[in-house]
Amino acid sequence: MKINKIIMGIAILLMPGIASAQGMKTNGNKMKTGTAAMSLEKNMEEQEYRIPENPEDISPLLIGESIPMVSLKDVNGKGFDLNRAIASKPTILIFYRGGWCPYCTRQLSGLQELLPELETMGYQLIAVSTDSPDELSKSLDKAHLGYTLLSDADLNVSKKFGLAFKAPKGYSEMLVKTTGGLDQDLLLPVPSVFILDKMGKIQYEYINTDFKQRLNPELLKVVAQTIYKVL
């Protein structure tokens, strides 16, 4: 879609550290070539998720693809049907590492400041991390967040989005604690931003393998405004 190419171009110009999912898949020799190849690759991914050792080797979903059917846990530990929520209104979906990450907490606070404008546009904001529901509650209380936080402590959803990779050494003890022991493979997600329409189709994404680099809230606002016009 032309609008996606324009917006991705804007992001690259304003944020030179951005690494697009398209580039990752090309570098990993995983570019899709035709309907048959797409079907075969999806079937293989469903059968087994091969965990990359490095964030640069992930193979995330692309703009134009639809997200998988997934369920997560909310702050109360109850099941949350992500697809059903997304069907209610356009969604900005965030994947972050956890409330223990200072870059993530700064990002969450910036999103909170932007929240009223995003909601006025017609969006809902949902953020997913490796934190257990108890850890999510701490983040909500500490940062006074007014949007939905969800737990992907076993990283099952991060795997389905193609974002999970093997955590570097030194994270093991902390991840066991903050995930409630559910992150058995000791994985982390590459921090990401997806803008989704009500059908669950990805209209925009920002995926940067440098976890210190996050999408600027003002740029996110510009992109969200531009995309909403064509949703």
Instruction: Give the range among 11-15, 96-100, 119-123 with minimum mean pLDDT.
Output: 11-15
CB count, 10 Å around CB of 115? Answer: 18
Task: Return the pLDDT at 24.
Answer: 53
Task: Return the pLDDT at 40.
Answer: 44
Residue 173's Cα: distance from chain center in Å?
Answer: 24
Cβ proximity of 90 and 197 under 8 Å: yes
Q: CA 183, CA 230: separation in Å to the nearest integer? A: 38
pLDDT in tens, 178-202: 999 999 999 999 999 999 999 999 9
Residue appearing with tokens 């690494």: 19
Q: Where are the beta strands (DSSP E) in 112-213?
A: 124-129, 148-151, 164-166, 187-189, 192-196, 202-207
Helix (H) or strand (E) segment spanning residue 72: strand 71-73
Helix (H) or strand (E) segment spanning residue 81: strand 79-81
Structure tokens at 61: 């979903």
pLDDT in tens, 118-163: 999 999 999 999 999 999 999 988 889 999 999 999 999 999 999 9
Residue appearing with tokens 């999103």: 111
Asked whether the predicted pLDDT for residue 35 surpasses 60, the reply is no
pTM, to two decimals: 0.82
Cβ proximity of 86 and 128 under 8 Å: no
Structure tokens at 227: 């995309």
Structure tokens at 45: 């991914």
- Tell me the CB-side half-sphere exposure of residue 51, using CA atoms within 13 A: 16
Closest CA to 129 of 110, 109, 148: 148
